[in-house]
Amino acid sequence: MTNKMWGGRFKSGPSAIMEEINASIDYDQRLFNQDIDGSIAHASMLGQTGILTKTDVKKIISGLEEIRKEIDTGKFKFSRQLEDIHLNIENRLKEKIGDAAGRLHTARSRNDQVATDFKLYIRDTIDHLSEQISQLQYALAQKALSFADTVMPGYTHLQSAQPVTFGHHCLAYVEMLARDKSRLQDARKRLNECPLGAAALAGTSFPIDRTHTAKALGFDKPTANSLDSVADRDFVLEALSTASISAIHLSRLAEELVIWSSAEFNFVTLSDKFTTGSSIMPQKRNPDAAELIRAKIGRIIGAFNGLATVMKGLPLAYSKDMQEDKEMAFDALDNFSLALAAMTGMIKDLVPNEEKLHQAAGGGFSTATDLADWLVRVLNMPFRQAHHVTGAIVAKAESQNITLDDLSLSDMQAIEPKITKDVFSVLSVENSVKSRVSYGGTAPTQVRKIAKKWIKSLEKTGIAG
Ligand code: ARG
């Protein structure tokens, strides 16, 4: 070998290179619990159907439980020569119980075994992520309730548009996360069919009971086509695509936190727990956690793209290419989980700067729409004309460098004589948000109602926040 680095590593030649590219045990050992659960269900079914003797089944199951303990307590020796988690466990079972171990693989293949293990893993992960999403929703809904009256600028094009409440802004994310959770639940429903018993690809001639194994593993039913059963990785792709969409939401919120916590905006203060100081600039408090959450989407969407690319050209049924599904999925879903935990912590600790938010909410003539609406409602002006008149009034205020509610009545009347002093009742930011009582609007009364509804329904699901 000319390359010293690799030459050293592969000194035993081609077989070592093969082991390096072929073995998945370094990462698929994470599936040990699912693998053992799957094997126990399979063995007990083989016993029920009389394919194996009860004595063999007993030995197999107690051997597998011992192996679970060995792995749990770090006593198990994983071997790369044995390729993957399935062969590592089977080999250890043979050491423990002898020949009966060899009967476990009756009417089964690693192809349906790995599909079953990974489905179980993704299903557990979906449940865990859903709970984490609920916790983030809970933190956001609590913030929304605490700051239901706090006005802030609402933006379009990142230009101050109309005042909204801080609570309303928080609740926008609660809605996004609700959709993410429902996408996860939807994916869970679809994945919940058991591939075990499809064997290598064609099914088996043994009189197995696939409904038995499906039920034992908490699946709704067995999968209906043996080729599809071992060729399918939709369930991983769906979990990754849902995680990608949700990570987009986290990334947008993270971006807002980065902007809002800057000295220029100063809308919120992030806690010390989720920020770092600069080694050279003592005044700085960098929003590192928010920035990293913003960045996580890169690898999550990368994993989706990666696996989609692996799968797109594969002929039916199983190909070894599919072994590449795991590392990407583990990495992406671990990081998504971490991002959810970090965001939840940041939201819980976040303190809005109410004074600054109020001041900014009044900037940019943000109540101009309220003025136009007043002209429509009180003077019965067509909206297009009201828009025009309001434009002229805004220009006047701008020329005097003052806000709309500081402009004199006579200045307004010079543009539209029918305007009365009643107009001032809609020009303050407080009155502006209070008036937005339409369903889904930003009025504090609405925000409080919706925040309470979320808090109640999330508490019912057992998450305490
Ligand atoms: N380690 C393999 C994987 O993750 C298990 C299935 C192997 N099947 C086979 N026919 N070689 O996909």
Which residue minimizes the CA distance to atom 4 of ligand 1? 323
Beta carbon of 134 within 6 Å of any ligand 1 atom? no
**Distance from residue 25's CA to the centre of ligand 1 (Å):** 11
Residue where the block lists tokens 């959709």: 179
- 436: region left, alpha or beta (phi > 0 left; psi from -120 to 50 alpha): beta
**Distance from residue 10's CA to the centre of ligand 1 (Å):** 23
Our answer to whether residue 278 is catalytic in this structure is yes
**Distance from residue 88's CA to the centre of ligand 1 (Å):** 13
Which residue minimizes the CA distance to atom 11 of ligand 1? 320
Ligand 1: which of 31, 84, 117 to mutate, judged by most atoms within 8 Å of the beta carbon? Answer: 84
Look at residue 415 in the predicted model and tell me its pLDDT: 95
State the catalytic residue, choosing from 62, 182, 278, 408: 278
Which ligand 1 atom is the nearest neighbour of the CA of 320? Answer: 12
State the catalytic residue, choosing from 157, 205, 279, 399: 157
Residue where the block lists tokens 């192809």: 111
Beta carbon of 111 within 6 Å of any ligand 1 atom? yes
Look at residue 1 in the predicted model and tell me its pLDDT: 39
Question: How many other CB atoms sit within 10 Å of the CB of residue 128?
Answer: 13
Look at residue 9 in the predicted model and tell me its pLDDT: 56
Ligand 1: which of 89, 111, 120, 230 to mutate, judged by most atoms within 8 Å of the beta carbon? Answer: 111
To the question of pTM greater than 0.85 for the whole model, the response is yes
Question: How many other CB atoms sit within 10 Å of the CB of residue 276?
Answer: 12
Cα distance between residue 162 and residue 153, in whole Å: 6
**Distance from residue 89's CA to the centre of ligand 1 (Å):** 14
Q: Work out whether strand 221-222 and strand 193-194 pair parallel, antiparallel, or are unpaired.
A: parallel
Beta carbon of 322 within 6 Å of any ligand 1 atom? yes
Question: How many other CB atoms sit within 10 Å of the CB of residue 284?
Answer: 12
Beta carbon of 37 within 6 Å of any ligand 1 atom? no
Beta carbon of 114 within 6 Å of any ligand 1 atom? yes
Which ligand 1 atom is the nearest neighbour of the CA of 200? Answer: 10
Strands (E), 166-264: 193-194, 221-222
Question: What are the respective helix, strand and coil percentages of the chain, to the nearest 5?
Answer: 70, 5, 25
User: Angle 135-181-152 (CA atoms, 0-180°, nearest 5)?
Assistant: 60
Tens digits of pLDDT across the chain (465 residues) = 344 444 455 556 668 999 999 999 999 999 999 999 999 999 999 999 999 999 999 999 999 999 999 999 999 999 999 999 999 999 999 999 999 999 999 999 999 999 999 999 999 999 999 999 999 999 999 999 999 999 999 999 999 889 999 999 999 999 999 999 999 999 999 999 999 999 999 999 999 999 999 999 999 999 999 999 999 999 999 999 999 999 999 999 999 999 999 999 999 999 999 998 877 777 778 999 999 999 999 999 999 999 999 999 999 999 999 999 999 999 999 999 999 999 999 999 999 999 999 999 988 888 899 899 999 999 999 999 999 999 999 999 999 999 898 999 999 999 999 999 999 988 889 999 999 999 999 999 999 999 999 999 999 988 765
Our answer to whether residue 271 is catalytic in this structure is no
Cα distance between residue 399 and residue 405, in whole Å: 14
| Phi and psi torsions of 418, nearest 5° | -80, -5
